[in-house]
Amino acid sequence: MKARGTLVALLLPLALLLAACGGDSDSTATDPDASDSSTATDTASPTEATETSEPSETASETTPPTPDWPACGDVWVADARLALGYKGCLEGDTAVKADNLSCSSGQRIVRYDDSFFAVAGGTIYETSGPLEKDKEYLQKIRTCRG
């Protein structure tokens, strides 16, 4: 009889545990419905709309700042000198990187707006038409690629 009492004492907590688990699964079945309705409510809430717009703000924050370059109109002037370390210029707020053509000598010809060119560190030339049709530019290219 004593063994029977011990068996009941051991099985009772197991039965309670199983009953509790069954109760959890019932509440779990109810929870998805509750979370579905809260999700529908959250989706329509203005807070979520704000959270959705944050990635756009974050993306704009990761945009690199405009370089501290001179205005293109100030750089690209016929007969002026192009800086040896020229990297680019600004057209308004838009950065225009140097359009470089490497030469066999190690120099580089920098082009701008299909009408200006210069050897870095040298004189800036302005053409009257597209670079591909300018005799002086084509001669510089032949010499460059020598």
Claim to verify: residue 41 and residue 76 sit in the same structural domain: no
In DSSP terms, 110 is beta-bridged to 100, 118
**pLDDT confidence of residue 65:** 86
The confidence band for 127, taking pLDDT boundaries of 50, 70 and 90, is: very high
| Alpha-carbon gap, residue 84 to 124, rounded angstroms | 12
Q: What is the pLDDT of residues 10-61, one digit of tens each?
A: 555 544 444 444 444 444 444 444 444 444 444 444 444 444 444 454 555 6
Claim to verify: residue 77 and residue 37 sit in the same structural domain: no
Kindly report whether the global pTM for this prediction surpasses the value 0.75. no
Residue 66: inside a domain: no
Claim to verify: residue 42 and residue 102 sit in the same structural domain: no
Structural domain boundaries enclosing 90: 72-145
The confidence band for 4, taking pLDDT boundaries of 50, 70 and 90, is: low
Instruction: Report how many domains make up the chain.
Output: 2
Residue 34: inside a domain: yes
Claim to verify: residue 78 and residue 120 sit in the same structural domain: yes
Of 41, 61, 81, which residue is a domain's last? 61
CA nearest to 104, candidates 144, 65, 55? 144
Percent of the chain at pLDDT > 70 equals 58
Alpha-carbon 74 to chain mean position: 30
The confidence band for 64, taking pLDDT boundaries of 50, 70 and 90, is: confident
Of 38, 61, 84, which residue is a domain's last? 61
Claim to verify: residue 36 and residue 86 sit in the same structural domain: no
Claim to verify: residue 88 and residue 108 sit in the same structural domain: yes
The confidence band for 79, taking pLDDT boundaries of 50, 70 and 90, is: very high
Residue 35: inside a domain: yes
Of 61, 88, 109, which residue is a domain's last? 61
Claim to verify: residue 35 and residue 96 sit in the same structural domain: no
CA Rg value for the chain:
37
Claim to verify: residue 41 and residue 88 sit in the same structural domain: no
